[in-house]
């Protein structure tokens, strides 16, 4: 016996054993352990004596020559190799487990990568935690989200910057927007920001090439521009001679001073500019607006800064609030607005506050997608839990077939901790393999999501490269997953009773199946929550898409142009002539049924204009009667093109130009509010006479409710304002099936070859893009819900299959005694249906609770919508029936004689 053990131990130390030798070793070690116990030794003492005899001291617990650390490493290496061999012998289980884990870990990691880039990633500047954004409360503006505003006038900026002692620097800036940048005879669109001269110094950004502008260069004749690294590489092919090169911006000359480092993409997440110019240089780009430097209450600047090291933010906020309130009090006496009651109440109640800006200034992208991404993160977390529950069930079933192996190990002296360690190592190997694949899934899914939400002409510039946050989240998720699905099966499998060795059984007794049932109930509950959430988001999207927006969304092409980009910004008459000529050409194009122009596009949730009507027919309204309105400036043919019906009066006419009396068309909501269902035609709003009433239509997105809207003549109001809002959009209703894109470009080139075209899309596509957030939630939640249903089906299939296999002898006996098949079906299916019902009962409250957290994302559907919850419950019950179909067919094929012989 000793010779045999020595021979087998030598083979083990060389790690050349195969499955046959492993079985032989287990048999002989079991026999030797019994013999030693008969001599009065414990099994552990027998194992230690055998290993010492074989001369392998590192494997002997407590040997003075063995280092505990090396022994632990040696165990890990052994267990990892053993786990790989076991997994290789079960390819179906291994493949299913790795794919399930890859999806379960990859989904939350991918969404977290995007959430991190949009919300959490710190700015690539020194000490980003010192960065703050300045804002102030708006106690009178009840419609503002969060009741705060971040736009300041220039006099406020100057006073805050000069009088602060707690801030190391405050800078101000604004988004100039789309410009036409020409260099070397070629032109292209670029996104431009303008900031005060201390912008880069306060941030601590250093140039990658050349230099950055400074405070001394922020003057009225400032003519330097700094390019972003990405724009420099894509537009100028990373030409190092770009520094000092002359370029023109909207035909105004500038000189390239330098290039920012690659990691710096601006301070507003998702709005990465292509270039920066000093703030004062905007006078050269937009002449005639010099009053904004001194005008109080003319808010147009975003302010941010850096708190001095060691200064508490609350102290800095208190100091700046005093300056803010003092400046507002002084401005009351300087501005005509100071006589208005609303302005006086605002000055009395407004307070300045500092908002953390370590991860960037608040942007439209962050405000729009922060909550949806967090909701998707929670949904993906539920998918991970469902995946772990499913894998835990698979491991429990797998462990039941390995009971003899585990009990042999225990008989040879292996402690429970050692068995648990070996099984957890196998789970960890599975998790690591799934985690590697999950990283690829995460990277691909986050990049895909970014492309989905990049709806503009310029893709969103968001850095999705893994950072410490993403890596830490990925590792944490991987280890949590390993613990969630590996620990419980390992603990249960390590509780050996010796019954498998005595009887040769591979079954699990009835008393040990509570954990299996609990996991199934948890998996069904998670699936119900996921399916119900998907149903709520899908119904929200359907409800929004089915709304009548007040216009016909089909067969309308839209595009925008900006006269300033071609150098028409200083002459509003030339700009008006340009826009009028473009409209004439669009209306005359073959295949175009009608065409119109407007400042605000239909359902444009990115751009809107708000005002208040304070007088009607020359009579001033009381403060409580003033009407908050949205407004637009449109041309003749606009209402006909978008198919919004004229209810009273007439449309805007071609003769409603700068030489004609001012006119305005109002919508139903304004007419009802201002004239109590009377006839508004002929009445005056401000200086404009009402000439028509149109049907209500949605103004600012599909979630918008009908509101009072004024429609001015674009060639009156737009010309008077110098088209200062930027672009003018054109709407063309075309014959069904036509493609006008190329023809539109040719017509624009005929007007002015230097005039760029942008935002070319159909009205139907713009409406779909306005629902992108809801579509994203509906699509991803539906995918995750489908995955949860699949996992629930697999889990229930495993449960029913195990039930059938365990009760084959009983089924044979019942069949031999004449039991009807329907009784046999119910005998097997009953447990699955009971567990499914228990999971549904637990999952419905979970779904309702989660939906309340996301109720602001729902539309015309309640978090406790009974139709959605009942549908989710029925789907899970259907899954239980489908999962039991294949196992129950085995019941029909049970031969009573074979079953009895097996028994």
**Bridge partners for 557 per DSSP:** 732, 762
Evaluate if residue 738 carries a pLDDT over 80.
Answer: no
Q: Is residue 232 predicted with pLDDT exceeding 90?
A: yes
Alpha-carbon span 878 to 87, nearest angstrom: 33
Indicate the pLDDT class of residue 47, thresholds 50, 70 and 90: low
Buried b (16+ CB within 10 A) or exposed e, 312-330: ebeebbebbbebbbebbee
Cβ of 510: how many Cβ atoms within 10 Å? 8
Q: Which range (162-171, 266-275, 310-319) has the least confidence?
A: 266-275
What is the arithmetic mean of pLDDT over 212-216?
Answer: 92
User: Are residues 743 and 589 in contact, defined by beta-carbon separation less than 8 angstroms?
Assistant: yes
Q: Band the pLDDT of 54: cuts 50, 70, 90.
A: very low
Summarised one tens digit per residue, pLDDT across range 494-503 is 665 444 444 4
Angle between helices 19-38 and 2-13 in degrees, nearest 10 = 140
Average pLDDT of the chain to the nearest whole number:
80
The proportion of the chain whose per-residue pLDDT surpasses 70, expressed as a percent, equals: 80
pLDDT at 328 over 80: yes
pLDDT, mean of residues 597-621: 83
Average pLDDT for 393-419: 70
Residue 743: CB atoms within 10 Å: 17
Average pLDDT over residues 246-259: 93
- Three-class HEC string of 438-495: HHHHHHHHHHHHHHHHCCCCCCCCCCCCCCHHHHHHHHHHHHHHHHHHHHHHHHHHCC
Structure token pair of residue 35: 């013999």
Question: What is the separation of C-alpha 787 from the centre of its chain, rounded to a whole number of angstroms?
Answer: 19
Quick check: 568 pLDDT over 90? no
Each residue's pLDDT tens digit, 62-72:
444 344 455 56
Residues of the chain above pLDDT 90, percent: 28
Beta strand ranges found along 184-231 (DSSP E):
186-195, 209-210, 224-227
Segment 607-621 mean pLDDT: 83
Distance CA 378, CA 370 (A): 13
Rounded to an integer, the average pLDDT of 23-31 is 52
pLDDT 10s digits, 652-675: 999 888 888 999 999 999 999 988
Q: Above 60 in pLDDT, residue 374?
A: yes
- The owner of tokens 């804002």 is 135
More confident residue, 723 or 108: 108
Give the pLDDT band (50/70/90) at residue 321. very high
CB within 8 Å of 575: residues ≥ 6 apart: 563, 564, 568, 569, 719, 722, 723
C-alpha 700/C-alpha 629 separation (Å) is: 12
Q: What is the pLDDT of residues 788-841, one digit of tens each?
A: 888 888 778 777 777 776 666 777 777 777 777 777 677 777 778 888 899 999
Read off the pLDDT of each residue in 688-697 and give the average, rounded to a whole number.
93
Mean pLDDT of 443-453: 72
Ranges 84-88, 427-431, 739-743, 749-753, most confident: 749-753
Q: Is the pLDDT of residue 890 over 70?
A: no
Distance CA 103, CA 440 (A): 10
Q: List Cβ neighbours of 808 (8 Å cut-off, separation of 6 or more).
A: 894, 899, 902
**CA–CA separation, 792 vs 875, rounded Å?**
11
pLDDT grade, residue 19 (50/70/90)?
very low
Q: What is the pLDDT of residue 318?
A: 95
């Amino acid at each position: 016996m000793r010779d045999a053990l020595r021979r087998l131990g030598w083979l083990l130390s060389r790690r050349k054993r195969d499955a046959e030798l492993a079985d032989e070793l287990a048999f002989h070690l079991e026999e030797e352990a019994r013999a030693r116990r008969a001599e009065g030794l414990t099994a552990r003492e027998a194992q230690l004596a055998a290993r010492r005899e074989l001369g392998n001291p590192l494997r002997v617990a407590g040997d003075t020559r063995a280092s505990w650390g090396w022994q632990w490493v040696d165990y890990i290496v052994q267990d990892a190799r053993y786990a790989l061999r076991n997994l290789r012998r079960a390819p179906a289980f291994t493949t299913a487990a790795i794919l399930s884990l890859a999806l379960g870990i990859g989904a939350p990691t991918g969404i977290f990568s995007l959430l991190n880039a949009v919300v959490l990633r710190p700015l690539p500047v020194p000490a980003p935690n010192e960065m703050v954004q300045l804002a102030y409360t708006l106690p009178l503006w009840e419609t503002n989200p969060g009741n705060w505003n971040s736009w300041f006038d220039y006099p406020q900026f100057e006073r805050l910057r000069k009088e602060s002692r707690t801030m190391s620097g405050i800078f101000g800036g604004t988004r100039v927007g789309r410009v036409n940048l020409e260099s070397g005879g070629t032109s292209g669109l670029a996104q431009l920001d303008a900031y005060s001269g201390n912008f880069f110094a306060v941030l601590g950004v250093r140039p990658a090439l050349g230099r950055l502008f400074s405070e001394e260069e922020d003057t009225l004749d400032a003519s330097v521009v700094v390019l972003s690294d990405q724009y420099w590489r894509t537009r100028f092919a990373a030409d190092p001679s770009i520094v000092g090169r002359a370029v023109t911006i909207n035909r105004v000359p500038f000189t390239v001073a330098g290039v920012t480092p690659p990691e710096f993409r601006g301070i507003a997440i998702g709005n990465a500019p292509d270039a920066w110019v000093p703030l004062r240089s905007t006078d050269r780009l937009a002449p005639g607006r010099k009053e904004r430097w001194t005008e109080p209450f003319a808010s147009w600047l975003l302010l941010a800064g850096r708190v001095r090291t060691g200064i508490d933010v609350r102290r800095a906020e208190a100091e700046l609030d005093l300056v803010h309130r003092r400046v507002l009090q002084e401005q009351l006496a300087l501005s005509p607005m100071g006589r208005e009651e609303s302005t006086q109440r605002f000055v009395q109640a407004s307070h300045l506050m500092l908002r953390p800006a370590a991860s960037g200034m608040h942007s439209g992208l962050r405000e729009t997608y922060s909550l949806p991404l967090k909701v998707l993160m929670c949904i993906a977390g539920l998918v991970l839990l469902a995946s772990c529950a499913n894998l835990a069930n698979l491991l429990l079933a797998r462990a039941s077939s390995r009971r003899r192996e585990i009990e042999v190990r225990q008989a040879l002296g292996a402690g429970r901790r050692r068995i648990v360690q070996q099984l957890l190592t196998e789970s960890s190997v599975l998790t690591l393999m799934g985690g590697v694949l999950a990283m690829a899934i995460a990277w691909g899914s986050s990049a895909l999501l970014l492309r989905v939400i990049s709806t503009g002409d310029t893709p969103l510039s968001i850095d999705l490269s893994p950072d410490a946050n993403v890596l830490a989240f990925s590792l944490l998720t991987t280890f949590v997953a390993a613990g969630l699905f590996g620990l419980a099966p390992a603990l249960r499998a390590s509780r050996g009773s010796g019954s498998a060795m005595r009887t040769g059984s591979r079954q699990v007794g009835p008393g040990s199946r509570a954990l299996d049932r609990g996991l199934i109930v948890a998996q069904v509950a998670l699936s119900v929550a996921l399916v119900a959430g998907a149903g709520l988001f899908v119904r929200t999207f359907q409800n929004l898409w089915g709304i009548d927006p007040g216009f016909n969304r089909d067969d309308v092409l839209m595009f925008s142009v900006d006269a300033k980009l071609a150098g028409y910004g200083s002459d509003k008459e030339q700009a008006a002539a340009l826009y009028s000529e473009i409209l004439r050409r669009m209306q005359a194009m073959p295949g175009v049924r009608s065409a119109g122009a407007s400042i605000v596009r239909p359902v444009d949730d990115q751009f809107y204009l708000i005002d208040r009507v304070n007088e009607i027919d020359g009579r001033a309204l009381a403060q409580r009667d003033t009407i908050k309105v949205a407004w637009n400036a449109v041309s003749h043919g606009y209402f006909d093109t978008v198919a919004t019906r004229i209810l009273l009066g007439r449309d805007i006419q071609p003769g409603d130009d700068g030489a004609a009396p001012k006119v305005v068309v109002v919508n139903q909501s304004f007419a009802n509010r201002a004239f109590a269902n009377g006839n508004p035609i002929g009445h005056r709003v401000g200086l404009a006479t009402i000439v028509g009433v149109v049907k209500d239509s949605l103004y600012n997105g599909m979630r918008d409710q009908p509101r009072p809207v004024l429609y001015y003549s674009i060639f009156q109001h737009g010309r008077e304002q110098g088209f200062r809002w930027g672009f003018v959009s054109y709407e063309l209703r075309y014959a069904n099936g036509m493609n006008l894109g190329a023809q539109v470009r040719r017509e624009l080139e005929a007007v002015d070859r230097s005039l760029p075209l942008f935002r070319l899309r159909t009205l139907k596509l713009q409406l779909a893009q306005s629902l992108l957030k809801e579509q994203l939630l509906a699509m991803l939640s539906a995918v995750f819900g489908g995955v949860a249903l699949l996992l629930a089906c697999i889990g229930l299939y495993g449960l029913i299959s195990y039930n059938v296999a365990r009760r084959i002898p009983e089924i044979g006996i019942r069949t031999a005694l004449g039991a009807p098949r329907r009784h046999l079906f119910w005998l097997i299916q009953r447990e699955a249906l009971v567990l499914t019902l228990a999971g549904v009962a637990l999952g419905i409250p979970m779904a309702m609770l989660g939906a309340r957290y996301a109720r602001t994302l729902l539309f015309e559907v309640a978090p406790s919508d009974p139709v959605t919850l009942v549908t989710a419950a029925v789907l899970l019950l259907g899954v239980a029936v489908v999962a039991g179909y294949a196992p129950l067919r085995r019941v029909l094929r049970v031969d009573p004689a074979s079953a009895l012989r097996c028994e």
